[in-house]
Amino acid sequence: MARSLRTSSALPAVVVVTAAPLLAACGGGNGDAPSIPLADERGGGARIAELVGEAAWLDPDDEDSERCAVPPDRRAHVTGVALVAIDRFDETGEGAHGNHYVQDLADEPVAYSGMTVFQPAFSPPDLRLVPGDAVDLSGVLTEFLGPSSGRFGDCRTLPEIGGTLSFRFEDRPPRPMRVPLDDLRSYASARRYIGMLVRVEGITIAGDPRSSGGRYTAAINVGAGVPAADVPSLSNELYDLEAQGPPLAAGASFRSVTGVLTYFYGFKIAPRCPADFQAEDAPLPVDDACAP
């Protein structure tokens, strides 16, 4: 599809009209991306799937995560990743928003290609992004063990990058990765999808939803033998799930649920809008009904 320039909202319209030919001609500099993409649209940076993998440092004997051999923080420069979702919903009323979720561009998503971007900065500072934009990311990759007041335990971590996002070109949100429900039964198997747009089929709500401090969650039935703390849930991280629905009473079932897989003391699927839920008798969506 045709690529268009993403410009700063602070620039007057006349500047956009007169500057675009110059940018296309020089094809470089520190301004917006050229209107004619380079041979490699994604750029020469790393892919997320090259940076994140299995957590070899997991230790079930270290319940308080005191002796974890996690890799040190390291610089990361990732280019040409798709912006999956932006957390603009402050469910707690205390500033619980700002995270961006990005994913490697691919016709068919692969494991370990998602990333949580913790409250990023932007270049230029007044850049405004929307899901589907292809962006570059430069910052520090951390395997976050959890708050110092209470680690996640067992040396579990949340891979995240803190840094700066810049615009590359306009695109569409990535296709969700179809994830078997059984893969959400343990940290080791679910970690590969953190930060990715996933679609899980055959979801049944295990109990009535819980609402506390603005956080609204509903546990997913993944069968017996899973510790209570490891049972995944649906959450209201990305929109007002409690007010806008659908109803999530115990026993409610859906043919599929799409959303971003997040991790913080447990795994959660965060739908982006009500259309991320498909009723039992509804066909699986072809297009992304939540796309802007």
Q: pLDDT digits over 97-110, tens only?
A: 789 999 998 888 89
| Digit-coded pLDDT (tens) for 149-193 | 999 999 999 999 999 999 999 888 888 999 999 999 999 999 999
Cβ contact 268:217 at 8 Å: yes
Long-range contacts of 220-224 (CB under 8 A, 24+ apart): 220/181, 220/184, 220/269, 222/181, 222/182, 222/184, 222/185, 223/182, 223/185
Helices (runs of H) and strands (runs of E) counted in the chain: 4, 14
C-alpha–C-alpha distance, residues 84 and 197, integer Å: 7
* Minimum mean pLDDT range among 16-20, 80-84, 229-233, 281-285: 16-20
**Assigned token pair, 103:** 């994913």
- pLDDT category of residue 54 using cuts at 50, 70 and 90: very high
The dihedral formed by the CA atoms of 9, 12, 80 and 289, expressed in degrees to the nearest 10: 50
pLDDT above 70 as % of the chain? 84
C-alpha–C-alpha distance, residues 131 and 252, integer Å: 29
C-alpha–C-alpha distance, residues 12 and 93, integer Å: 35
C-alpha–C-alpha distance, residues 152 and 154, integer Å: 7
95: left (phi over 0), alpha (psi -120 to 50) or beta: left
User: For residue 196, what pLDDT is reported?
Assistant: 96
**Assigned token pair, 194:** 């953190």
Judged against a pLDDT cut of 60, whether residue 27 lies above it is answered with: no
Mean pLDDT, rounded, of the chain: 85
C-alpha–C-alpha distance, residues 171 and 214, integer Å: 33
Comparing CA positions, the residue from 26, 14, 37 lying closest to residue 167 is: 37
